[in-house]
Amino acid sequence: MTTIHLIHGEAAAAALQQAIHNAARADRVIGLRDDLTVGPLRDIDETQDAGVAQRAAFWALLGGVPDTLTLDDCAALDALVPGDANVVVWHTHDAAHQLALRRVCYRLRCAPQRLNEVRLAADELTPARLEARLADAAPISVLRITRLALEWQEAKFANGETRRWRDNTFTSGTWADLDTLILDLLDTAHAQRPADAPWLTSGALGAALTRAGAGFAVAEPVVLWRLRELAAAEELRLRDDMCASCAPSAADARLARSRAARLVLPHMAAHLSLSR
């Protein structure tokens, strides 16, 4: 019988596919790409659900992700449900991985005998480490599947703007929470920045937000969108020598806190356009 492996993220799925190839196995790998830590969740489970279009519109607003991202994950899970193949969900303790696990458990709650998992550490997402863990797939108990499925339903019903993973519990957050954290980090970075220090990249800011307690890994499209929104609200401003209509591929966008009475602050280098 064919085994289907699911894991969140394109890079993780590619590493898992390589691990399975190296092990000379013919198993199938599905990478779930939709980052469920942000954006609307209500009514998104099946392709025909009303919330799918709303979630797709959310990602279109942010940009930087495939247009079919939400539909692709829905379609993959739709196709998974009627089969009889064993399913292995690979997951780390990361918030996006945990939400993907709960979503799969919800979709397959009526076939608990099919569900298995491999619990990973964050540093195990390499082909060699994943190959070594192939034999560790273990059944998920019916009780655990039921609990995880209920937690997915709770997250959908809460329908928060963000979902924070702390102490093995999801809580809803807001964009205002994330914006406050961004501004605090930029102020701190400016205060501690030597004159010759390189600027923060958008990836570095996202990592800093995660370390600072955002409660989820803040992806680059989310970082850049919030910076655009903060600039539009005049919480940040572009340096005078940068064009607000520059293309997203421009070398950098130099940001400053407009409400602070000080010189322009080179907080960040990011591929960013301020057009909404």
Of 121, 140, 165, the residue at which a domain comes to its end is: 165
pLDDT, one tens digit per residue, over 191-242 is 777 766 666 778 888 999 999 999 999 999 999 999 989 988 888 764 443 3
Q: Residues 152, 213: one domain?
A: no
What pLDDT does 237 receive?
A: 67
Is the pLDDT at 271 greater than 50? The verdict is: no
Q: Residues 182, 48: one domain?
A: no
Q: Residues 134, 182: one domain?
A: no
Given a contact cutoff of 8 angstroms between Cβ atoms, the answer to whether 145 and 102 are in contact is no
- In total, how many domains does the chain have? 2
What pLDDT does 48 receive?
A: 83
Structural domain range at position 47: 3-165
Is the pLDDT at 129 greater than 80? The verdict is: yes
Is the pLDDT at 249 greater than 90? The verdict is: no
What pLDDT does 196 receive?
A: 67
Determine which helix (DSSP H) or strand (DSSP E) holds 8, and give its type and residue range: strand 3-8
For residue 210, the domain's CATH number is: 1.10.10
Q: Residues 36, 108: one domain?
A: yes
Given a contact cutoff of 8 angstroms between Cβ atoms, the answer to whether 163 and 99 are in contact is yes
Pick from 140, 142, 170, 137: nearest CA to 155? 170
**Region of residue 3 (phi > 0: left; psi between -120 and 50: alpha; otherwise: beta):** beta
Say what percent of the chain tops pLDDT 70.
Answer: 83
Q: Residues 80, 139: one domain?
A: yes
CA distance linking residue 181 with residue 69, whole number of Å: 27
Which are the contacts of 109, defined by CB distance < 8 A and separation ≥ 6? 145, 146, 149
Of 148, 165, 182, the residue at which a domain comes to its end is: 165
pTM: 0.85
Q: Residues 127, 152: one domain?
A: yes
Which of residues 16 and 45 earns the better pLDDT score?
Answer: 16
CA distance linking residue 95 with residue 135, whole number of Å: 25
Across the chain, mean pLDDT equals 85
Q: What angle do CA 233, 176, 99 make, to 5 degrees?
A: 130
Of 133, 165, 197, the residue at which a domain comes to its end is: 165
Q: Residues 21, 60: one domain?
A: yes
Is the pLDDT at 272 greater than 60? The verdict is: no
Q: Residues 23, 146: one domain?
A: yes
Q: Residues 134, 101: one domain?
A: yes
**Mean pLDDT to the nearest integer, 140-158:** 97
CA distance linking residue 224 with residue 266, whole number of Å: 16
